[in-house]
A and B are shown apart, each in its own frame.
Chain A
């Protein structure tokens, strides 16, 4: 059983399109995250939700909008995709609210390529 799953695994799309990436965790965790890993492999947090409430919102363009229908899901919707959005997006989850003390478990990543 995959603890943190993401769909799709690969996403190739044109500039200007709107796309969504889904994330689900079956660990019963309270907190979920989205990270962006750029071409230089730098991992940076984008958002964090605890029990469907936004906890962390880094300096991310408002074209990116996370949505958490329940605490097991955190989806990422991206409007008007740009070339610079090309990256690998990782979802993660952890048990605690603050998101740091407990271990974060990562999904397999979604490789987004914007043409």
Chain B
């Protein structure tokens, strides 16, 4: 069973629409959580990360994510997307229970129509 799940494989939306991408993980205990973005033809870049503290994390380019421990979730949000947000988005989890290896979700491909 996949340990990090991104339920939406493809998302298509128009500019100015709001975006929310789901991420769930199955590890107990302490986790560190990440969202990476991969723009077309480019390498993975870090959007934001959660280690501890405020469960609402602000990242670059207007993205934010909320860690809900009880739901084992770390959903990514952006209130108003732009065409340049077209990319593949990956959730990643580091968990002591998984040997402290970074485990990626399957990715969500987001297409923003101009």
Contacts and interface: CB of A to CB of B under 8 A. Distances in A.
B interface secondary structure, majority: strand
Interface residues of B, number: 23
Interface in B27-79: 32, 34, 36, 42-46, 49, 51
B42 A101 contact: no
Interface string A1-20: 00010000000000000000
B8 to A, nearest CB: 13
B43 A109 contact: yes
B43 A90 contact: yes
B100 A103 contact: no
A71 B102 CA distance: 20
A109 B45 CA distance: 12
Interface of A: 4, 40-45, 48, 56, 90, 92, 98-101, 103-109
Given A41-B107, A103-B49, 12 more contacts: A42-B106, A43-B44, A43-B90, A43-B107, A90-B43, A92-B44, A98-B100, A99-B100, A99-B101, A99-B102, A101-B51, A104-B102
Interface of B: 32, 34, 36, 42-46, 49, 51, 88, 90, 94-95, 99-104, 106-107, 109
